[in-house]
């Protein structure tokens, strides 16, 4: 089932720290994601046009499809982990008097493995436990290396996108404030101009009553000044109104893009955290170095074939004994014979399995929540905008998504 990494010996202090810290991060990410999602729902984008609404529906359809894929992957892994835990219970229930051959085979494997390590007698940057872990995933690690490298590069791109979007948000907020200030300034000009025109009219009226001078031209100039000011204020106010609408459209687009990028970031981060925990590394560079070291050690191990046949014999013996007691994944225990002999080691392995299973449950729950939020968003659009229902239903059928109230 591709999960031989479950079983490994005692780790060094620095590895304990590496393994314990990542175990918390998926849960933190899930909580953080839900918190951010609630905030973004409160600050949801205004879907002013039909194109924006359909784009919003399409984005949520893609979220549903991606979340479903993530759930299926996690369920496969979850089933495998559960199977291993069941096997461990069966081993614990084997009577002591029927366990002698099994323990003898495990002891031989453990001793022969130690002997091979002494023959190699070379220091390495990876522990015995990491060696056995990589040995069990030997065929898939090259592919995983490329996937983790691509995921780290993708995470860097996502972070860059989020910085750009945040910068865009600040610029749009500043632009909006500037337009509002212009509107306030225009209002002030309108008030001042109105007061001046009224005062001039009153002044000219009084002067014309108490003198014989002709104030027709001053009156006309005052009227022209008022009309000119009014025209300027009208044109500028209309321009500002258009600018406000444009800024709001840009803000809506920025919010939708930020929501989409944040979801991608959470999913990608969860994948990386799980992979780091799985292979006991902190990043791709460390994983690549550890893998190259493992390959070197593996090549050296091929020179020591003197004990290989004997090891294979006891491997078969161990598998045979385990199958007699109904152990499904009996081959796994070839790489962890110490757990059969040492109850503390068995407890430690069980703890790691339970931690991994909890991470998988959190991953499934988070993606289920993503799906439900996306479905709710689609239902809300279809409810609020009846003109989009027909096209939205076509889009849902194309993605093979059912939306039930």
DSSP-derived secondary structure letter, 126? S
- Share in percent of the chain as helix, strand, coil (round to 5): 85, 0, 15
pLDDT tens, 282-321? Answer: 999 999 999 998 888 887 767 677 777 788 888 888 898 8
Instruction: State CA 250 to chain mean position distance.
Output: 25
The pTM of the full predicted model, rounded to 2 decimals, is 0.48
Q: Are 8 and 348 in contact (CB under 8 A)?
A: no
CA distance 255 to 241: 21
Nearest to 378, CA basis, from 359, 360, 405: 405
CA distance 273 to 260: 20
Q: Are 53 and 297 in contact (CB under 8 A)?
A: no
Query: Three-state DSSP class for 11?
Result: coil
* 405 residues of the chain, pLDDT tens digit each: 333 333 333 333 333 333 333 333 444 454 454 445 544 443 445 688 989 999 999 999 999 999 999 999 999 999 999 999 999 998 988 888 888 888 888 998 988 888 877 776 667 788 888 888 898 888 899 999 999 999 999 999 999 999 998 998 898 888 888 888 878 887 888 888 888 878 877 877 777 777 766 667 777 787 787 788 878 877 887 887 788 888 888 888 888 988 999 999 999 999 999 999 988 899 999 999 999 988 888 877 676 777 777 888 888 888 988 988 888 888 888 888 888 888 898 999 899 999 999 999 999 999 999 999 999 999 999 999 999 899 999 999 999 888 765
CA distance 161 to 164: 5
CA distances from 34 to 99, 262, 263, 370 (A): 49, 11, 10, 9
CA distance 314 to 10: 23
CA atoms within 13 A on the CB side of 143: 5
Residue pointed to by tokens 């050296």: 300
Other CB atoms within a 10 A radius of the CB of residue 290 amount to 22
pLDDT tens, 291-301? Answer: 998 888 887 76
Packing angle, helices 216-279 and 343-384, rounded to 10: 150
CA distance 263 to 101: 52
What tokens appear for 74 in the block? 């996690």
What tokens appear for 205 in the block? 């009226």
Residue pointed to by tokens 């984005």: 59
CA distances from 288 to 215, 282, 283, 293, 382 (A): 92, 11, 9, 9, 48
What tokens appear for 70 in the block? 């993530």
List CB contacts of 328: < 8 A, sequence separation 6 or more: 83, 86, 87
Question: Which H/E stretch holds residue 162?
Answer: helix 141-210
CA distance 297 to 291: 10
pLDDT tens, 261-276? Answer: 999 999 999 999 999 9
Nearest to 157, CA basis, from 167, 168, 165: 165
């Amino acid at each position: 089932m591709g999960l031989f990494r479950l079983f490994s010996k005692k780790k060094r202090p620095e590895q304990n720290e590496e393994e314990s810290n990542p175990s918390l991060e998926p849960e933190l990410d899930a909580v953080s994601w839900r918190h951010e999602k609630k905030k973004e729902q409160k600050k949801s984008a205004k879907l002013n046009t039909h194109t924006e609404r359909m784009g919003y529906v399409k984005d949520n359809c893609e979220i549903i499809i991606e979340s479903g894929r993530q759930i299926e992957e996690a369920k496969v892994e979850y089933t495998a982990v559960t199977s291993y835990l069941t096997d461990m219970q069966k081993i614990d229930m084997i009577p002591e008097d029927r366990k002698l051959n099994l323990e003898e085979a495990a002891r031989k494997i453990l001793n022969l493995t130690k002997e091979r390590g002494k023959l190699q007698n070379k220091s390495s940057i990876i522990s015995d436990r990491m060696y056995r872990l990589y040995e069990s995933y030997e065929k898939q690690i090259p592919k995983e290396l490329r996937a983790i490298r691509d995921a780290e590069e993708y995470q860097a791109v996502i972070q860059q996108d989020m910085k750009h979007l945040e910068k865009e948000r600040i610029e749009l907020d500043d632009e909006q404030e500037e337009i509002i200030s212009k509107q306030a300034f225009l209002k002030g000009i309108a008030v001042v101009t109105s007061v001046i025109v009224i005062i001039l009219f009153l002044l000219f009226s009084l002067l014309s009553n108490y003198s014989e001078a002709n104030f027709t031209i001053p009156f006309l100039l005052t009227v022209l000044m008022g009309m000119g000011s009014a025209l300027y204020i009208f044109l500028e106010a209309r321009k500002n109104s258009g600018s406000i609408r444009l800024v709001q459209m840009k803000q809506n687009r920025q919010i939708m893009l930020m929501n989409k990028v944040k979801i991608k970031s959470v999913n990608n981060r969860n994948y990386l955290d799980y992979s780091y925990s799985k292979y006991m590394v902190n990043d791709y560079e460390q994983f690549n170095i550890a893998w190259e070291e493992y390959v070197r050690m593996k090549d050296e191990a091929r020179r020591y074939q003197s004990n290989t046949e004997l090891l294979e014999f006891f491997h078969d013996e161990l598998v045979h004994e385990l199958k007699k007691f109904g152990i499904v994944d009996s081959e796994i225990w070839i790489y962890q014979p110490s757990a059969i002999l040492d109850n503390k080691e068995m407890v430690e392995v069980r703890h790691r399995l339970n931690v991994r299973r909890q991470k998988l449950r959190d991953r499934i729950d988070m993606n289920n929540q993503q799906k439900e939020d996306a479905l709710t968003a689609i239902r809300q659009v279809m409810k609020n905008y009846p003109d989009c229902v027909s096209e939205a239903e076509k889009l849902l059928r194309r993605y093979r998504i059912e939306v039930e109230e």
